[in-house]
Amino acid sequence: MALTSAQEAVVIQMLAAFEGGKRIQDLPEVDGTNPFNLVTHVIDKDGESKKAALASMLPYLESQCAYGIERDKTVSSPACTRIGNADLHRSLPIHNRMKGCLLNDDGEVVEYLPPESWLGSTRDGSRGQVMVEIPDHYRKFETSGNKQRVKISEHPLPGYHHVPKMYISAYEAALQRTGNKLSSVVNDSADFRGCGNQSAWDGTCRSALGRPVTGISRTNFRAYARNRKAGSTEWNCMTYEAQKTLYWLFVIEYATLNSQAAYNPQLTSEGYRQGGLGDGVTTWDWNSWSIFNGNYPFIPCGYTDHHGNKSGIVDYYLYTENGDYIDTFTVPRYRGIENPFGHIWKWTDGINIRISPNAPTGDGLSKVFVCDDPEKFTDSNYNGYSHVGNEARNEGYVKEIIFGEYGEIMPSVSSGAGSTTYFCDYHYTNIPSAETLRGVLFGGAANNGAIAGFAYASTDSAPSNAYAHVGSRLCFFPKA
């Protein structure tokens, strides 16, 4: 684009600011254009020299308006180094624009919920689905030798990819039985009975009322989400892209790959977040859970809502209907999103794994295919999907992820790590005797203990499979 004389003057000011160590943020808009946006649109009579000069400014621009983390792949500690603008690590501008809201079926925000507590708000679905708005932002992944870096910015810096605004359910998904509509609500009526719709449990400690729904395939989770608005693909169940976005926001905020690190609400002396989200609902052994309710969900939706838009943990005490104590579980919340890992596995859409047998009958690869266009989501092939790398072929703790240009969080090496080293989360898969398309479950369940977490991925299930301990979330992706 050709620059106006006024915009060219701003470019000169930017160069001068760079050379003089001044803040570009202090420069005013000119002709309605923010100085940041001129960086990628400089073409004039001195185009090549000007572009070269502006390119040299990128490190300065990033130091002013980007923040993120760096990790060394050869270092086992999950702790990451904060990079970019230290003030942004304290103010967390992108994170702090995450906020709870009520979203109607047309994708319109009916109301933004009070940031301190949602308890006084209508959350039963009558005014809309309870969602967390993730603001649009810009993200960059880069690798230099053994160093991996993740950076985010509110501004469209060169080399950064746009992350569109999205809405993720505050709760693990419920199901409105009338119309089979995937929901995000606090509602203990029979029409939203969760688990496997066991009416015989009503009034008992096993009650499915107000709980998330499970026992549904990924295929049906997708269909039930889209029942919210006929003919639209904006409503979806949880997707890989949404899971990835949440994961990297968490990692950047806490500067750790260990989502199960002990919860610590205190800031560091520098004013940064520290710790993690604790164990989560992951500490119940399978047999005890099975005896209790057949491994269905047991934490009610909205249990942590007194935290509003904030992160935190809340103890949940489980008793029999006679008042006998059973166990205590710690329910985590990440910026309004309850149980981001643990309790029940979550189906994710927009990712298909082509797992081939070992030679001589197959190529011995587990190829990861992803898609960010909901209109192309499918359970039967890879059309419209991109091959982004290969998944590890064995189960074990994750040592390396695919990463790449878009920050893929699927494991590429799952050996040589542990619950407190490298990515700290587990990976489960198995190799079939014939080529198979598998979906991906994320997060782990109530029995998984230290192997659970944001990045715990399992690829042992076909999209048609349904289990008592597997649910999903509800998402909305506005069309551009």
Tens of pLDDT, residue by residue over 184-193, are: 999 999 999 9
| Contact between residue 276 and residue 255 where contact means Cβ atoms under 8 Å apart | no
Give the per-residue pLDDT at 159. 86
**Window from 12-21, 292-301, 431-440 with minimum mean pLDDT:** 12-21
Please give the Cα distance from 351 to 291 (Å, whole number). 33
User: What is the distance between the terminal CA atoms of the chain, rounded to a whole angstrom?
Assistant: 23
| Contact between residue 246 and residue 68 where contact means Cβ atoms under 8 Å apart | no
Please give the Cα distance from 446 to 112 (Å, whole number). 31
Beta bridge partners of 141: 150
- For 348, the token pair is 């994710």
Tokens 């086992």 correspond to 76
Give the per-residue pLDDT at 36. 55
The type of residue at 354 is R
Give the per-residue pLDDT at 74. 97
Tens of pLDDT, residue by residue over 371-427, are: 999 999 999 999 999 999 999 999 999 999 999 999 999 999 999 999 999 999 999
Residue 58: name the closest of 46, 40, 75 by CA.
40
Please give the Cα distance from 436 to 442 (Å, whole number). 19
Domain range annotation of the chain:
5-56, 65-480
**Per-chain mean pLDDT for the chain:** 92
Rounded CA Rg of the chain: 23
| Contact between residue 4 and residue 123 where contact means Cβ atoms under 8 Å apart | no
- Residue 44: pLDDT band with limits 50, 70, 90: very low
Tens of pLDDT, residue by residue over 97-126, are: 999 999 999 999 999 999 999 999 999 999
Please give the Cα distance from 414 to 396 (Å, whole number). 5
Residue 474: name the closest of 96, 188, 185 by CA.
185
- Residue 42: pLDDT band with limits 50, 70, 90: very low
Is residue 26 classed exposed, middle or buried when 0-12, 13-18 and 19+ CB atoms within 10 A define those classes?
exposed
Give the per-residue pLDDT at 259. 98
Residue 478: name the closest of 104, 52, 20, 100 by CA.
104
CA 46: distance to chain centroid? Answer: 43
Give the per-residue pLDDT at 299. 98
Torsion of CA 262, 263, 269, 271, to 10 degrees: 140
Sign of the four-CA dihedral 192, 198, 200, 206? negative
Give the per-residue pLDDT at 16. 52
